[in-house]
Amino acid sequence: MAEKKINDTFLKACRGEKTDYVPVWYMRQAGRSQPEYRAIKEKYSLFEITHQPELCAYVTRLPVEQYDVDAAILYKDIMTPLPAIGVNVEIKSGIGPVIDDPIRSMRDIEKLGEIDPESDVPYVLDTIKLLTEEQLTVPLIGFTGAPFTLASYMIEGGPSRNYNKTKAFMYSEPHAWFALMDKLAEMSITYVKAQIRAGAKAIQVFDSWVGALNVADYRTFIKPTMERIFSELKDENVPLIMFGVGASHLAKEWHDLPLDVVGLDWRLPVSEARSMGLTKTLQGNLDPAILLSPWEVIEERAKAILDQGMQQDGYIFNLGHGVFPQVNPESLKKLTSFVHDYSKKAKVSN
């Protein structure tokens, strides 16, 4: 089926091209802050929603229709592909992803299999097709968790504060660590390529927790794997976005990788990232907590970020991390419209 014509402002900004206004989307825009979604969630779990393409496409589309954002992000979790390689993950309410038989040794890593997206996660691909062939008028962002962040759940057995077990494994069994990084890189590459074949127009790699490592360890234990992932995905010709939390010290490392967009959390101002020599497209970075403030505060902070971001082409407005469940959807709607209007006026007067 012929694809619908889409608004490509977001894709242009990813590629560093001139745009009429600053494009915007929000991490975790689809889901918990939306009343329509919460009503669905009373009946179905994350797992059940993602297994029903019509329903999953509806949840993915909701924020696009309600907030007028410039990109959609597929509703699913970074854990979604893991059962395909033999990881028994359960999303526990109020806790997050939990794995009962965590990775302890090389033997556990050798047991991990490979993903065949067409047979293991057909529902993800069907949802992407439905959205991109029939429904969306903006690009769909596909995504994967990065090896460190996925490994942290697989080794800790669940969410962690300090990643002690993960680090202990990495430092004491480097051979096994790299074998695990390779398996997860392989999985991510195959999974992302299938998402692109199905219609995803950009890819975000979430290395949410890698900021727990220092720069030297990132270079030794993580960067070679990330080089491989981005190099292999580069040929797919869709923009590649990197994101992590508390990782300002790694922003330059990410910028070295063959990717298009560096995502910033709220700790590193956009102007400072530019002064550090980050010339690629930047995405971010309103502190998601600001969204719980009165509109005047939100507007003032958004304006300050836009003034920095608009200093050059290649800027995408976003939050510094995901939308909190308590956020009023009205604030997101107003914010989108503010980002669009303010940047349109500024671009015209330039």
Ligand X SMILES: Cc1c2[nH]c(c1CCC(=O)O)Cc1[nH]c(c(CCC(=O)O)c1C)Cc1[nH]c(c(CCC(=O)O)c1C)Cc1[nH]c(c(C)c1CCC(=O)O)C2
Closer of 196 and 304 to ligand X (Cβ): 196
> Which of 336, 341, 345 minimizes the C-alpha distance to 65?
336
Q: Does 12 bind ligand X (CB under 6 A)?
A: no
Pick out residues in 238-277 that bind ligand X (CB under 6 A): 245
Does 346 carry a binding-site annotation? no
Does 100 carry a binding-site annotation? no
Closer of 91 and 179 to ligand X (Cβ): 91
- State yes or no: cis peptide before 328, omega within 30 of 0: no
Size of the site for ligand X (CB under 6 A): 19
Using the rule CB under 6 A, give the single segment among 10-18, 24-32, 180-188, 234-242 that binds ligand X.
24-32
Does 31 carry a binding-site annotation? yes
Backbone angles phi, psi at 23, to 5 degrees: -75, 155
Instruction: Tabulate helix, strand, coil % of the chain (nearest 5).
Output: 55, 10, 35
**Strand, helix or coil at 143?**
strand
Using the rule CB under 6 A, give the single segment among 73-81, 126-134, 194-202, 280-288 that binds ligand X.
73-81
Report yes or no: 247 and 215 within 8 Å, Cβ to Cβ.
no
Q: How many CA atoms lie within 13 A of 49 on its CB side?
A: 24
In angstroms, what is the minimal distance from the CB of 73 to ligand X? Answer: 5
Using the rule CB under 6 A, give the single segment among 23-31, 111-119, 264-272, 274-282 that binds ligand X.
23-31
Q: Does 97 bind ligand X (CB under 6 A)?
A: yes
Q: Does 284 bind ligand X (CB under 6 A)?
A: no
Closer of 76 and 342 to ligand X (Cβ): 76
Q: Does 32 bind ligand X (CB under 6 A)?
A: yes
Backbone angles phi, psi at 98, to 5 degrees: -125, 135
List the Cα angle 78/31/79 in 5-degree steps. 15
CA–centroid distance for 255 within its chain: 16
Q: Does 28 bind ligand X (CB under 6 A)?
A: yes
Q: Choose which of 166, 208, 281, 343 interacts with ligand X (CB under 6 A).
A: 208
What is the spatial distance between Cα 124 and Cα 114, in angstroms, rounded to a whole number? 17
Q: Does 322 bind ligand X (CB under 6 A)?
A: yes
Q: Does 140 bind ligand X (CB under 6 A)?
A: no
What is the spatial distance between Cα 234 and Cα 237, in angstroms, rounded to a whole number? 6
Report yes or no: 267 and 243 within 8 Å, Cβ to Cβ.
no
Q: Choose which of 163, 177, 206, 315 interacts with ligand X (CB under 6 A).
A: 206
Q: Choose which of 14, 78, 151, 180 interacts with ligand X (CB under 6 A).
A: 78
Q: Does 90 bind ligand X (CB under 6 A)?
A: no
In angstroms, what is the minimal distance from the CB of 110 to ligand X? Answer: 25
Does 28 carry a binding-site annotation? yes
Report yes or no: 87 and 112 within 8 Å, Cβ to Cβ.
yes
In angstroms, what is the minimal distance from the CB of 208 to ligand X? Answer: 3
Q: Does 53 bind ligand X (CB under 6 A)?
A: no
Closer of 28 and 193 to ligand X (Cβ): 28
* Alpha-helical regions (H) of the chain: 9-14, 35-43, 46-50, 53-67, 106-110, 117-120, 122-129, 147-156, 164-172, 174-198, 215-217, 223-234, 251-256, 270-275, 295-309, 329-349
Using the rule CB under 6 A, give the single segment among 5-13, 26-34, 126-134, 176-184 that binds ligand X.
26-34
Residue 143 makes CB contacts below 8 A (sequence gap 6+) with: 73, 74, 78, 192, 195, 203, 204, 205, 206
Give binding residues for substrate as ranges.
28-32, 47, 77, 153, 208, 321
Residues that bind ligand X (CB under 6 A): 27-28, 30-32, 46, 73, 75, 77-78, 91, 96-97, 149, 159, 206, 208, 245, 322
